[in-house]
Structure 1
Amino acid sequence: MSSSTTPGLTRFNAADVSEAQAALHEVCASEAWGSKILAQRPYADTEALFAASDAAMAELTADDLAEAMAGHPPIGRPKPGDPTSSREQRGMAGASDELKAEMLELNLAYQERFGHVFLICATGLTAEQMRDAVRNRIDNAPEHEREIVRGELVKINRIRLTRLAEGDAA
């Protein structure tokens, strides 16, 4: 990304606290993450925003991560009326009924094992790739899986922050 400030980033830097908090909550549901990002405004460029986001994500506790994950619907079941989750999970849209049913079963098994939704940066992935990922990760140790989830949240946040910085709220 360029080193100049984008129109969306300029708006974010200048927004009042409640408006900026709301924008950040759309990126990530963790209040701790949002507070850390908010406290470091203004950002010189998108790379500075990414660096702050990545650092804030690295510092999140297990409870903070759980709060962040709670903002994500299960794969294959985007929130009705939420263009962000629908866009990010586009790869599931053309999946067969059998694959959708298998994903539902895998999501439930994963959630039972780990106590939270299966989280993956789904942007650009096919339904088969998402299914294979949950199959591969379901046997992970909880501590290992938590760090994978943290990495997936970093990727998701960067995609969403790019949209915010470019001024594309839709």
Structure 2
Amino acid sequence: MTNHPHALEALAAADAAELKAILLEVCSSPGWATAVAAARPWSDRDALLAANAAAMDALTVSDLHDAMAGHARIGKPRTGDATSEREQAGIQGVDTALLDDLHEANAAYEAKFGHVFLICATGRTAATMLAALRERYPNDAATEAEIVRGELRKINDIRITRLLDES
């Protein structure tokens, strides 16, 4: 893993409004962004990732819903949103029957839990995401909320790493 200390320093030195905007691009939960910002200055990449983990652990159910609102439905990346399209690259070129199954399973999940099915889609195929969706559907709301929290943490870790590596 390449370390770009200047990117981390620039992020830590950003004014409050700029930092919040950047962090909200990583995760759409204002509670998360506030908690991560409050942990600066971060001594290194690991400290920033630890701030992500701590902020994720502290999120309320409402905060989790805020975070999920920033994510496209699995199988339907947001057109023109490079992050969404990159993260869901595993659905590109998939046959329509599999996409139909994914959309149907998503609809059932959303009806049961009241939010999108959230999974760290990076590196996953449509078939593995569908299998995970079906595996998680029987969960109760509390169990599913904790799984979502873990998936959000992974997504944020990837996005933070990318932010630091591309800056």
Q: Deviations over 1:67-89 (max 9, x none)?
A: 10011010011112110010000
| CA deviation map 1:44-102 (0-9, x unaligned) | 11100011110110010000001100110100111121100100000011211111111
Q: Give, in angstroms, the shift of residue 163 of structure 1.
A: 1.0
Q: Distance in 2 between matches of 1:63 and 1:141?
A: 17
- Which letter maps to 2:73? P
Counterparts of 1:8-19 in structure 2, within 5 Å, are 8-19=7-18
Shift of 1:17: 1.3
Give the alignment of 1:41-56 within 5 angstroms. Answer: 41-56=40-55
Instruction: Tell me the residue number matched to 1:89.
Output: 88
Identity of aligned residues (%): 50
| Structure having greater relative contact order (Cα 8 Å, sep ≥ 6) | 1
CA distance in 2, matches of 1:49, 1:145: 26
Find out whether 1:6 has 2:5 as its counterpart: yes
Paired residue for 1:103? 102
CA distance in 1: counterparts of 2:112 and 2:23, whole angstroms:
29
Matches of 2:90 and 2:5, distance apart in 1:
29
Give the match's secondary structure for 2:166: coil
Give the conservation status (yes or no) of the 8 Å contact 2:26–2:156: yes
Which digits, 9 at most, give the CA deviation of each residue in 1:8-60, with x for residues without a partner?
Answer: 21221111111111110011011011001111211111100011110110010
Indicate if the aligned counterparts of 1:9 and 1:166 stay in contact, CA closer than 8 A.
no
Q: CA RMSD in A?
A: 1.2
- For residues 1-170 of structure 1, what are the structure 2 equivalents within 5 Å? 1=1, 6-168=5-167
Q: State the alpha-carbon separation in 2 of the partners of residues 108 and 72 from structure 1.
A: 15
Q: Which amino acid aligns with 1:129?
A: T
Contact 1:9–1:167, Cα closer than 8 Å, also in 2: no
Runs of 4+ in 1 over 3 A off after TM superposition: none
Count residues in correspondence: 167
The unaligned stretches of length 5 or more in structure 1 are none
TM-score of the superposed pair, with normalisation by structure 1:
0.94
How far apart, in 1, do the equivalents of 2:93 and 2:137 lie?
A: 24
Aligned residue identity for 1:88: E
Aligned partners of 1:6 and 1:150: how far apart in 2?
28
SS of the residue 1:166 aligns to: helix
Give SS of 2:147's match. helix
